[in-house]
Copies of this chain bind each other. A is one copy, B any other.
Amino acid sequence: MRLEEKVRGASHREVVDRLGAFFGAKSVVLIGATDRSPWSIWTHANLRQYSPNVTVHVVHPHHDQVHGQQVLKSLNALDEPVDLAYVMVPTSAVLEVMNEVADAGITNVVILTAGFGEAGPEGAELEAQLVDLAHARGLTVLGPNGNGFINAAGGLTPYGLLITPPLDVGPVGIVLQSGGLASAVLAGAQARGVGLSLLVSTGNEALTSASDIMRYLIEDDRTKVIAAFLESIRQPDEFREVAELALAAGKPIVALKTGRTEAGAKAALAHTGALAGDDRVIDAAFRQLGIIRVNSLEELLATAGYLGHHREIRGRRIAAITPSGGACDLLADLASEEKLEFPEFPPETLAELGELLPSFSNPQNPLDVTGYVVMDPTIALKSLGIVANDVVGNYDMVLYTATIPRLEAPNPAPIEQRMDALAEAGKSLDVPLVLQSLISVDLTSYSRKLLGDRGLYLLSGIEPGMRAIGHGARYHDRRDRWLEVGPPTTAPSLEAPVNARGVWPEHLVRGLLEAHGIPVAPARLATSALEAKAFAGEFEEPVAMKVASSALAHKSDIGGVALNVEVDQVTATFDELKKRLAVALPEATLDGVLVGPMRTGGIELLVGVVTDPTWGKVLSLGLGGVWVEVLGDVALRVLPVGPEEITTMLGELRGAALLSGARGTRPVDMDRLVAVVYQIAQLAEGLGEALDTLEVNPLRVEGDCIEILDALAVWRSEGDSK
């Protein structure tokens, strides 16, 4: 992939600096500006309204006056250097214009024009030319087929759709691979009081990817959290690096990634020209990388807004103050689902609340100050004061249901005083104060002012709010562990066996596994009935016998496995297995028959490593039998993983209790089990590109006895096996 290699060549710092200049432009030229295009009208209007310190030029070969401004016929007419070109010319003119842009000494280009990679093979060819040209001329390009960007914090808004005021500046950086949703997200953010640092619509990502934008946002001081709408991850290595930089910096990435389902993946394929990866692998990769995955635009904004304003909240213990028992019920239900806690109030707190609140109240956490708050609106704040005394060591945050008036009252003083008191309480509280509304409705200009003037942020709605708090708690858990353990180390590179071709059945894989010290149940490959009988004598009676042929991947498909064979039956069984192979696959060569001791009891696991087209080697781990076959109960991780992560994987299995001795099974030596799975993962990873699949099934586990009973490998190079 030519593009990726070129981009990958750039260092993190280079990308950040380049985009810093890009988003920090002080002058913009709109190329192809015309009063007949809404895009042109709106981009110009946006710049006029929200970019007061930016010089705007308009260029069009055939107009004199556009958007009430004098038109330059060409870039040659510019009498000063310009930082950024915004290109709206027809598709066929884009390359020529880019050359003119470069000639004029402009290095930053937004291309709004569509008709490139998204439009079939011809468009893709044109996009490739565009990329070459940009590289040759040293241009930084956003798009094509993108709306541009809104640098809210920096006052630069070359964005193709009208920005309805107000444009709130704040801690959330947004990157979208869908231009069509960018304005919806903007409107949603405004409605909820989620302030933006930067919003970027990346379009076709010919040169600047969502990952690049995230790099910039990680280094951008005004951005505290990154919200992303992603349709495809084209460069997973790049993405992984960025995610780890974000983890290191403590800037949460909240991502809405589409293509969750087969149907979704099909839609994504059709219109972006990029394959959506297997969604379960993406889920796994995101979890490993500390990325918060959400399911809707609403959840994206609620989570990013919360984290932007409350990034510092760690822990799950909440003290809540509400005006309604119904709200308490909802909070309690959601807390349980999100594994958040409402620890009981200390006795002194309860006693003081009992004195403050009406006799018919029932103080507890979450607290219902009762409808009496209508008569005496101060009881909620007073309750906050009481709860505040005992928060240290008991709670990680105070959650306060705030009913913010939507319209200014004839006498606004009382509410404004209460808002002042609330802001003061937040400042003096020893843990963060989180304000929350009972239901998700938009801020009005008045409620926005009441909050904004006091630097307050309101979580919109009980359910969206509690989900966001849950995301935050899980994020910090993941990140803390990541900081503690560090990123997993890559496995040492291993040379593939010289005969690594096609499919390797058990008798070939055994040697590979044993050579790397991985425990395989004992067995010997007998090449004659006589030898088989001799080998059988080495083991306890009865034995297991399995036909071995490089041409046969699945022995049991042809009845090639004989169990519980008594010693006196070994010779006959050898001949029978030989016959079965000859009948089923006449052209196959018999390599021999594996003879080994019978193994029964214990728990069987499946340990597989497959190659995902996007993410590379993926480890899957599950309990055998119904668990995998009927329930699909498998934990996934993108390699590399460390032993800690394998322990977590085992804990994620729905049948995990079996490993610790449920139903009378012998508890498994977990350290040893993790070590063996880790060995398998290291081997598969170390073999690199040569290996496609390594599947151990089953790995038998009984107490501290852990051994492989069967395994299969698939190599990348074609063999003659099938």
Contacts and interface: CB of A to CB of B under 8 A. Distances in A.
Nearest to A229: B326
Contacts of A258: 326, 329-330, 332-333
A336 B264 contact: yes
A183 to B, nearest CB: 8
Contacts of A437: 184
A413 interface: no
A366 B297 contact: no
A630 interface: yes
A181 B164 CA distance: 32
Contact of A662 (B271, B335, B630): B630
A298 B114 contact: no
A324 B441 CA distance: 25
Interface in A95-126: 114-115, 118-120, 123
Interface stretch (A64-72, A458-466, A683-691): A458-466
Output the residue of A145, A362, A461 with the most chain B CB within 10 A.
A362
A375 interface: yes
A331 to B, nearest CB: 8
Contact of A271 (B39, B179, B325): B325
Contact of A261 (B336, B366, B438): B336
A30 to B, nearest CB: 16
Given A438-B184, A439-B187, A629-B662, A259 B329 contact: yes
A370 B114 contact: yes
A257 B323 CA distance: 19
7 contacts: A123-B360, A180-B438, A187-B441, A271-B325, A297-B438, A626-B626, A630-B658
B325 A180 contact: yes
A375 B36 CA distance: 9
B368 A180 contact: yes
A305 B658 CA distance: 46
Contacts of A129: none
Nearest to A333: B264
Nearest to A409: B162
A461 B296 contact: yes
A406 interface: yes
* Closest A-B pairs by Cβ, 10 of them: A180-B324, A178-B326, A119-B360, A296-B463, A261-B336, A258-B329, A264-B333, A184-B438, A271-B325, A442-B442
A663 interface: yes
Given A114-B358, A181-B438, A297-B462, 20 more contacts: A38-B374, A114-B371, A118-B360, A147-B371, A180-B323, A180-B327, A185-B439, A187-B441, A191-B442, A229-B326, A260-B337, A261-B335, A263-B336, A267-B364, A270-B364, A271-B325, A297-B463, A298-B463, A626-B626, A630-B658
A421 interface: no
Contact of A626 (B337, B360, B406, B658): B658
A329 B267 contact: yes
A181 B39 CA distance: 44
A337 to B, nearest CB: 7
Contacts of A675: none
A365 to B, nearest CB: 9
A400 interface: no
A594 interface: no
Interface in A621-639: 625-626, 629-631
A622 B359 CA distance: 48
A181 B374 contact: no
Contacts of A323: 180
Contacts of A333: 258-261, 263-264
Contact of A332 (B263, B331, B464): B263
Contact of A298 (B185, B271, B439): B439
Nearest to A165: B407
A650 to B, nearest CB: 14
A267 B415 CA distance: 29
B629 A38 contact: no
Interface string A637-658: 0000000000000000011011
A378 interface: no
